[in-house]
Amino acid sequence: MKVEIQVTVEVQTALCIGSGVSASTLGIDRLTLKNHNGNLLIPGSALKGKLRMGCEQILKTLKVRICQSPNPASMCPHYFWIHDNRENEEERYCPICEIFGSPWSESPLEFADLVWWDGEEWKKHKTDVRPGIAISRSRGVVEEDKLFYTETSPPDAKPRFAGDIHGYLKDNKQIALMLTGLKDIRAFGNSKSRGLGWSDVSCDLISPDLTDEEIADAMKGWTNGQNT
């Protein structure tokens, strides 16, 4: 069935999502990501990664068997071939890989980038650059040449990022798991330990039209012993 979930992330503290691009020429070591319009964003891939980890945690707690990410060799479809000798190709994907994909199968969902949206306009170029130092663990002193700069969203701005997840899922059970996982996300970005990126995530199920009771009921489907 067709699924669309609107996701809003309200960041309570400054956010830094590394771009993975070296920015040493700019004197900034960790660049926060922007799209081509200069809007700050949380990449869809970061949301997907976070949500996958959260959903894995939930299913492990409910004793649902899933493969062992992120090592490709112990992920689906290999996992259930090695452990259960499952002949049927279709049955070799765990609930997590069915939703999020594996190195050998595509996810049926697309995760759009979450862009800074304040309800009236998309926000541009509002970042802070903050200095930090690297402390040598063994000697407990500041290491030379280890002063670095981190670009973050402004500390008091509490930016709201919005975007959507859309695509196709098999049943309400999968949707309920996604929504539960989304509400569990607490932080985004690098430097969690330094207090950056603590977030409140809210989500709106646009399609299909399900009541809270129907979602809660569907979630119970994971605990009724019919899981593989």
CA atoms within 13 A on the CB side of 102: 23
For residue 15, state whether it binds Zn ion (rule: CB under 5 A).
no
Q: Which residues between 71 and 100 bind Zn ion (CB under 5 A)?
A: 76, 94, 97
CB of 53 to Zn ion, least distance (A): 13
- Tell me whether residue 76 or residue 114 sits nearer to Zn ion (CB atom): 76
Q: Which residues between 145 and 184 bind Zn ion (CB under 5 A)?
A: none
For residue 3, state whether it binds Zn ion (rule: CB under 5 A).
no
For residue 55, state whether it binds Zn ion (rule: CB under 5 A).
no
For residue 64, state whether it binds Zn ion (rule: CB under 5 A).
no
* Among 67, 99, 114, 165, contact with Zn ion (rule: CB under 5 A): 67
- Tell me whether residue 9 or residue 76 sits nearer to Zn ion (CB atom): 76
State the Cα–Cα distance between residues 116 and 136, nearest whole angstrom. Answer: 36
For residue 41, state whether it binds Zn ion (rule: CB under 5 A).
no
Quick one: tokens of 55? 């959903």
CB of 59 to Zn ion, least distance (A): 10
In DSSP notation, 120-178 reads SSB-BS--EEEEEEEEPTTT-SEEEEEEEEEEES-TT---EEEEEEEEE-S-HHHHHHH
Number of residues that bind Zn ion (CB under 5 A): 4
For residue 59, state whether it binds Zn ion (rule: CB under 5 A).
no
CB of 169 to Zn ion, least distance (A): 15
CB of 96 to Zn ion, least distance (A): 5
- Tell me whether residue 76 or residue 203 sits nearer to Zn ion (CB atom): 76
What is the distance of C-alpha 22 from the center of its chain?
Answer: 23
Where does this chain bind Zn ion (CB under 5 A)?
67, 76, 94, 97
